Amino acid sequence: MIHFNEKNRVFNLSNADISYQISIEEQRFLAHRYFGKKLRGDTFRGDYPIIGRAFGTNPIDAEQRAFSLNHQLLEYSGNDNGDFRESSYQINFSDGSYVSQFNYKGHEIIDGKPDLDGLPQSFTETDEQAQTLKITLEDAANKVQIILNYTIFSDYGVIVRSTEFVNLNSESIFLDKALSMSMDFSHSKFDLIQLSGSWARERELIRHKLNRGVTKADSKRGTTSHNYQPFVALVDPDTTEHTGEVFGVHLVYTGEFVSNIEVDEYNQTRVQMGINPEHFNWEVKSGEVFQTPETVMVYSADGLNGMSQEYHRFYQNQLIRSKYKKEERPVLINNWEATYFDFNEEKLHALIDEAALSGVELFVLDDGWFGKRDDDTTSLGDWKEYKEKLPNGLKGLSDYTHNKGLKFGLWFEPEMISEDSDLYREHPDWILGAKNRQSSVSRNQYVLDFSRSEVRENVLNQMRTVLSDVPIDYIKWDFNRNMSEIGSRNASVRDGEILHRYILGLYEVLETLTTEHPDILWESCSGGGGRYDPGMLYYMPQTWTSDNTDAASRLDIQYGTSLVMPISSMGAHVSATPNHQVGRSISMEMRGHAAMAGNLGYELDLTELSSDEKFEVKDQIEWYKKHRKLIQYGRFSRLISPFDKNHKAAWMFTNEEQTQAVLFFYQTMARANDSFDQIRVVGLKPDQKYLLSHNGETYYGDELMYRGIYINHDLHGDYQSKMVEITAVD
Ligand code: GLA
């Protein structure tokens, strides 16, 4: 898949669908030549014009006035040799100098994909699945190397990139900036797509035309955050859900990130992604290597759905490691919105009893089971059961749950500490913060400094004790604030390294626990989807998508999330009406239809439902169990976007054999005398007959796909939905 053309000095990475090409210019500089649909030839360097332009600098010599880095399309560039665009790295050398010059030194092509130490990462099962190109650049004067890693997989439209900094100098070097990737396009005729939002409003799809200048999406909140996903896509302005070119870049990392998109004076576009330099300054000691996180770059010619399906497939197969990655996920009941902190054994037993009757398979005990936790002011850090609420202990509750035929799950927030806790009284210096300065609280809590091994060890051991005493099948791992005052009270760690060391420390704990407890189903959470990133996905196959459980809001949130995240990772719960976050009332049917488009769960007091509603819940669960394989692991296609502001949304799921599909349509606001929507179904076999559940009619696949069907004209009222099963028949 990877070939180096010696004569023309071109690297060609190609599989059946995509090509990525890099050339070596002037024996030294790495130029970006191409990323996109597969190209046949790999001998052509591209005919990028080399012409002199005023105010260009000439790094080769005065004779070669035409060659200037600022006019080249580059792979990974500093800004000290006359490339005046956004730099990929910034190195501070021990003598105080910043100027560097990295030239091509050599390369290696290897089968498979080498492991990245201590970081979440995509992987191969066999070496035949992928090849990796490692290109070494060297600054000979400073004795520092940069290694650019590119992996191409045979079965995906994906290139995975990361970067290493190797210090061969006898002195330390300091990285002020060390991005994972950078890539230039020859034009700027793109729309930029990002997913940004806020708590309870995660991952809104934002699309706008690119303009001259630098556009940035980033996090300065310690972790990836609710506010931006570490993802950008550049798309052709005509790209739709089903057609057109898309270039996606997604970072496999949970800390602060930055993505820069720069359109330069010649309307060329640079796209970059990596660790945010904002709180980052890393010492690479003599002989050491700094490894950046990796980015997953997808090219698709089949629109946004094409890109998403590629991300879903790739993450599902080559990133998520859990033993549950391909298993049907259990229907759960979570007590949070049912009881909040106000529960006792009796209430929980009643909820579990009712859940068992409904067909629920997993009971999750949320916040409030430990220390003296009656509200959010206390006890984080003290992971011992609260006996007044649970006189028979967690073990008693776990046994009760198991006896009812349900699995037992438990909530933790391991990285946090309350001032009112035994752990804080013992170790007030274990919190994240600047020396001799007060740290800000948020939700009455501080963040534990996970860059420190003694802190990690303490929390790990507390969790180990609970896990060895109590049979636990599922854990929800929460993180309920942003980080501020990012410094350490530990004199041995430099402030510029805290955050990345924190994230590496978190990864170490997750690696340990998930290895020690492979049978536990892990779900990540951060006030809902504040840390819903590929880094966490590597360790935990599920995420609580959002604290907003309102079915109408969930259409936006799940639609946006599905751009990059597989459906099997998306927690979606039916909650009470009126909804607790937005006060909206929606029928049980539509609440079910929204939640059934993810990992179905319930988060309400089932005992308070009317008997009709209880029947409805039972039916939903029964239906979902029959169809969840299709929903969780089928091919997901978005059909109508709720972001188009027409108060509608639709999506569908199709199995691999194309014999079964389910389509959901949602109407959030009724419109008098409305126009009709002829919905074109996707992903069926044209010559196969299919039976439609809503009208009992049979159609050929081509009729459904090319002509479409009318399914929503009989919906009357706000917040209505419809589900159609599409089944192949003879
Ligand atoms: C966060 C989670 C919720 C719940 C609460 C408990 O907000 O997202 O689901 O677990 O914490 O405090």
Q: Looking at the structure, do residues 116 and 162 belong to the same domain, yes or no? A: yes
Q: Looking at the structure, do residues 343 and 403 belong to the same domain, yes or no? A: yes
Query: What pLDDT, in 10s, does the model give residues 484-533?
Result: 999 888 778 888 999 999 999 999 999 999 999 999 999 999 999 999 99
Q: Looking at the structure, do residues 513 and 575 belong to the same domain, yes or no? A: yes
| 43 pLDDT higher than 70 | no
Atom 2 of ligand 1, nearest CA residue: 527
Q: Which residues are catalytic?
A: 478, 547
Atom 12 of ligand 1, nearest CA residue: 367
Half-sphere exposure of 51 (CA within 13 A, CB side): 4
Query: What pLDDT, in 10s, does the model give residues 626-681?
Result: 999 999 999 999 999 999 989 999 999 999 999 999 999 999 999 999 989 999 99
Q: Is residue 168 part of a domain?
A: yes
Q: Is residue 327 part of a domain?
A: no
Quick one: pLDDT at residue 511?
98
Q: How far is the CA of 602 from the centre of ligand 1 (A)?
A: 14
**Which residue(s) pair with 246 in the sheet?**
235, 300
Quick one: pLDDT at residue 47?
80
Q: How far is the CA of 476 from the centre of ligand 1 (A)?
A: 9
Cα→Cα distances 163→130, 275, 389, Å = 18, 11, 51
Ligand 1 atom closest to the Cα of residue 411 is 10
| 79 pLDDT higher than 90 | no
Distance, in Å, from the CA atom of 719 to the CA atom of 585, rounded to the nearest integer, reads: 9
Cα→Cα distances 720→93, 294, 351, 591, 668, Å = 63, 42, 28, 10, 7
Q: What percent of the chain has pLDDT over 90?
A: 92
Q: Would you say the C-alpha torsion 320, 321, 322, 326 has a positive or negative sign? A: positive
Query: What pLDDT, in 10s, does the model give residues 230-252?
Result: 999 999 999 999 999 999 999 99
Q: Looking at the structure, do residues 600 and 715 belong to the same domain, yes or no? A: no
Indicate the top mutation candidate among 365, 525, 602, 603 to test ligand 1's pocket, ranked by most ligand atoms within 8 A of CB.
525
Q: How far is the CA of 528 from the centre of ligand 1 (A)?
A: 7
Distance, in Å, from the CA atom of 650 to the CA atom of 694, rounded to the nearest integer, reads: 15
| 45 pLDDT higher than 80 | no
Q: How far is the CA of 226 from the centre of ligand 1 (A)?
A: 14
Q: Looking at the structure, do residues 629 and 651 belong to the same domain, yes or no? A: no
Q: What percent of the chain has pLDDT over 70?
A: 99
Phi/psi for 357 (5° steps) reads: -65, -30
Quick one: pLDDT at residue 287?
98
Q: Is 525 in the pocket of ligand 1 (CB under 6 A)?
A: yes
Ligand 1 atom closest to the Cα of residue 366 is 10
Atom 8 of ligand 1, nearest CA residue: 527
The CATH number that applies at residue 257 is 2.70.98.60
Do residues 15 and 1 lie in contact, with contact meaning Cβ atoms separated by under 8 Å?
Answer: yes
Q: Is residue 99 part of a domain?
A: yes
Domain boundary among 613, 633, 653: 633
Distance, in Å, from the CA atom of 481 to the CA atom of 416, rounded to the nearest integer, reads: 9
Length of the chain: 730
Question: Count H helices, E strands: the chain?
Answer: 12, 38
For the chain, the domain total comes to 3
Q: Is residue 325 part of a domain?
A: no
Q: Looking at the structure, do residues 237 and 373 belong to the same domain, yes or no? A: no
Could you tell me the two tokens for 250?
């997604």
Q: Is residue 326 part of a domain?
A: no
Domain boundary among 600, 633, 666: 633
Q: How far is the CA of 703 from the centre of ligand 1 (A)?
A: 46
Q: Looking at the structure, do residues 91 and 170 belong to the same domain, yes or no? A: yes
Q: Is 547 in the pocket of ligand 1 (CB under 6 A)?
A: yes
Domain carrying residue 707 = 640-729
Domain boundary among 318, 351, 378: 318
Query: What pLDDT, in 10s, does the model give residues 88-101?
Result: 999 999 899 999 99
Quick one: pLDDT at residue 487?
87
Q: Is 523 in the pocket of ligand 1 (CB under 6 A)?
A: no
Q: Where are the beta strands (DSSP E) in 15-74?
A: 18-25, 29-37
Atom 3 of ligand 1, nearest CA residue: 527
211 pLDDT band, cuts 50/70/90, is very high
Q: Is residue 323 part of a domain?
A: no
Query: What pLDDT, in 10s, does the model give residues 396-445?
Result: 999 999 999 999 999 999 999 999 999 999 999 999 998 888 999 999 99
Q: Is residue 355 part of a domain?
A: yes
Q: Looking at the structure, do residues 621 and 667 belong to the same domain, yes or no? A: no
The CATH number that applies at residue 667 is 2.60.40.1180
| 134 pLDDT higher than 90 | yes
On average, the pLDDT of the chain sits at 96
Query: What pLDDT, in 10s, does the model give residues 99-124?
Result: 999 999 999 999 999 999 999 999 99
Assessment of whether the complete model's pTM goes beyond 0.95: yes
Nearest to 272 by CA among 311, 234, 307: 234
Q: Is residue 583 part of a domain?
A: yes
The CATH number that applies at residue 450 is 3.20.20.70
Our CA dihedral for 596, 663, 536, 433, rounded to 10 degrees, sits at -70
Q: Looking at the structure, do residues 662 and 587 belong to the same domain, yes or no? A: no
Atom 6 of ligand 1, nearest CA residue: 367
Q: Looking at the structure, do residues 474 and 542 belong to the same domain, yes or no? A: yes
Q: Looking at the structure, do residues 521 and 393 belong to the same domain, yes or no? A: yes
Q: Looking at the structure, do residues 378 and 479 belong to the same domain, yes or no? A: yes
